[in-house]
Every structure is written in structure tokens, then in C-alpha cells.
Amino acid sequence: MSENAREAILEAARIAAQHYGYNGINFRSIGETVGIKNASIYYHFPSKADLGAAVAKRYWEDTAGALEAIRLQNPEPLECMRMYPSIFRKSLEDGNRLCLSSFMAAEYLDLPEGVKKEILAFADINVTWLAAVLNEIAPGDAQGCERRARALYSAVAGAQLIARTRADLRVFDELIQSYRDVGLIPNAG
């Protein structure tokens, strides 16, 4: 099996998980989507738990890369804060999908341990990044920045959930603007 097949399997599983959560990862439907026999998936991923963990890990790694790109392209920390919600908005733009980690976090108690570990990593990379940027904006209180980062991460993920329920990007944008208006998301204006 080629590396391209592995990547196609991961992509199909990610999309399924963003629509239906961990339970949406189904070897038969992924095989149909990719155009391979579902038994071939076992060559790369011996179990659903292995595939779920690989998908969740890839998801947080991609998000970490996107956060780093935001930081590199925007030396001003307030601009980074302005850009942060776009990561969650993109999932909504791409077929009204939910952040894979948010969806799986709702299923957390029923997830295999390997998947749980990767879901926690997603939250941790978001909170760590946000806390670092917040600390650049107002240096000095690392513990306060981490608490605010958790609140900000939770609020943006929650805005995505509400917008997905309504199938309306305007709801997401309005909620994000309200977070800016009350100062949860710092902004220059």
C-alpha cells in the first residue's frame, strides 16, 4: 500500500469524524470513499482506535502548524488574536464541519486511551499558544494568561458549535465579535 493511500484514509477519516465524531470512523465507508477494500485499511491502521488516534494526532499537528504560521506572518500579537478564530471558522466554511477535537471531546469518556491523549494534545496546543500570545500583549501574569486562554479557547470552540447547529457562519462571526466587544478576545480597537 502506498503512502498516498494512507493519506487518503486519514483524510476520509478526518472528514467523517468532523461530521459524526469518533463513531463516524467506519472502515467500510472510508474504504468506499477512498476506493479501496476496507480490509486494506488494516494494513495501515490495525484497529479503529489506531486510526482514530492517528487522525486526531494529525489534526492537532496541522493546527499547531496553522497557529505557528499565524504567529510567523503576524508579528503583532493583537493581529494573531484577530486571526485565531479563523482556524475554527474554516471547518464551518468547509461543509459546516465541527472541529474534530471538539466533536471527539464530547465523546471523551467512550474513546480509546490513544484517542483521548491526542484530543487533550489539541486543547493543550491551543491553550499554550493563546497563553503565549496573551502574555505578549500583557506580560507578567502567566497563570492569568493561561486561565484566559482556556476561556478564549472554550468560547471560540463553543461559537463554532452554536454556528454549526444553526448552519450559519454569521452566528459564528457575531459571537466572535461579541467576545471582542467584551474584551475576551483582545483587540486594538
pLDDT value at residue 188:
66
In 3D space, the residue among 74, 119, 77, 101 whose CA is nearest the CA of residue 160 turns out to be 101
pLDDT value at residue 99:
82
Q: Is the pLDDT of residue 102 over 90?
A: no
Q: Is the pLDDT of residue 189 over 70?
A: no
Question: Among 48-57, 86-95, 101-110, where is mean pLDDT lowest?
Answer: 101-110
Distance from C-alpha of 157 to C-alpha of 103, rounded to nearest angstrom: 10
Written as one string, the DSSP assignment of 146-157 is: HHHHHHHHHHHH
Distance from C-alpha of 174 to C-alpha of 165, rounded to nearest angstrom: 15
pLDDT value at residue 1:
47
Q: Which residue has the higher pLDDT, 44 or 2?
A: 44
CATH code of 55-181, in short, is 1.10.357.10
Q: Is the pLDDT of residue 178 over 50?
A: yes
Mean pLDDT of 154-161: 94
Q: Which three cell numbers stand for residue 114?
A: 490513544
Distances (CA, A) of 2 to 7, 38, 45, 52, 170: 9, 15, 13, 20, 41
Q: Is the pLDDT of residue 12 over 80?
A: yes
Q: What is the tens place of the pLDDT at every residue in 27-49? A: 999 999 999 988 889 999 999 99
Q: Is the pLDDT of residue 13 over 90?
A: yes
pLDDT value at residue 170:
97
46 class by beta-carbon count within 10 Å (0-12 exposed, 13-18 middle, 19+ buried): exposed
Mean pLDDT of 55-76: 95
In 3D space, the residue among 29, 32, 37, 40 whose CA is nearest the CA of residue 6 turns out to be 40
Mean pLDDT of 108-129: 95
pLDDT value at residue 126:
96
pLDDT value at residue 101:
82
In the chain, where the domains are located: 55-181
pLDDT value at residue 29:
93
Q: Which three cell numbers stand for residue 143?
A: 497563570
| Rounded percentage of the chain residues whose pLDDT exceeds 70 | 98
